[in-house]
Amino acid sequence: MRLTLLEPSLVRSASWLAHRALTSNLSANDIQGMAPTDPDLTCPVCSKLLRDATLTPCCNTSFCDECVTNALLDNDMLCPECETRVKSLEKLKPDDDRRDRCKKYVEETLEASKEALEQEKKEREAEEERLRLAEEKRKKAEEEAAALKKEEGADREDEDSKPAIKVDEVKKDDDELFPERAPEVRPLSLRSPLPLSARPGP
């Protein structure tokens, strides 16, 4: 099995992926149901972004309108923050400042989410293109290696098909190129006279 190794710059950590999943392609409801990055916009009861922020008359704490209403009704009208008794729900008042800030927070987060989604798309396309080019390069290298191997095999077959040169043929060629000279026969008149001791007697 062939494994594809990615460059370190393209390896994404699990935390980065989790962050990208949480910040890309979000809706307004998704943002409303998440804990905001600004603690001042967090409801003390549900720990989510304030929805219809409402202030208590006792400690001036901001809650979601639904959260503080239910908390007062369920706890004998005791404030969930300072436990002071609130005379009536009519004493609650809208927190206009935080309502405006929450609205702006949702809009900015939606815009950031769209940008994150677009960036993720570009990165995914770039990664796919990089992998495509790498695959093309790999295939080209394999084809070149196969062609070279085939060419080497053809050369080897040509060498094997050549007739072997026999030793007798080599010797025959050498004899034709370099014939042996016949022994020189000297005339009798040129031969050295035998010494007297070697001459035959009368």
Q: pLDDT tens for residues 46-59? A: 999 999 999 999 99
What's the structural domain count of the chain? 1
Closest-CA residue to 29 (of 43, 53, 48, 44): 48
54 φ, ψ (degrees, to nearest 5): -135, 135
Classify residue 183: in a domain, yes or no. Answer: no
Average pLDDT, the chain: 78
Classify residue 44: in a domain, yes or no. Answer: yes
H helices of 25-95, where?
28-32, 65-74
Rounded mean pLDDT of 189-197? 54
Residue 78, classed as helix, strand or coil, is strand
Of 20-29, 127-136, 143-152, 155-164, the least confident? 155-164
Classify residue 86: in a domain, yes or no. Answer: yes
Predicted pLDDT at 14: 47
Over residues 41-100, the pLDDT tens digits come to 999 999 999 999 999 999 999 999 999 999 999 999 999 999 999 999 999 999 999 999
Closest-CA residue to 34 (of 55, 49, 14): 49
* Angle, helix 96-161 to helix 14-23, in steps of 10 degrees: 130
Closest-CA residue to 81 (of 60, 65, 53): 60
Using CA atoms, how far apart are residues 42 and 95, in angstroms rounded to an integer?
13
Predicted pLDDT at 168: 58
Over residues 162-178, the pLDDT tens digits come to 655 555 555 555 556 65
Give the domain extent around 68: 15-116
- Residue 33 maps to which CATH number? 3.30.40.10
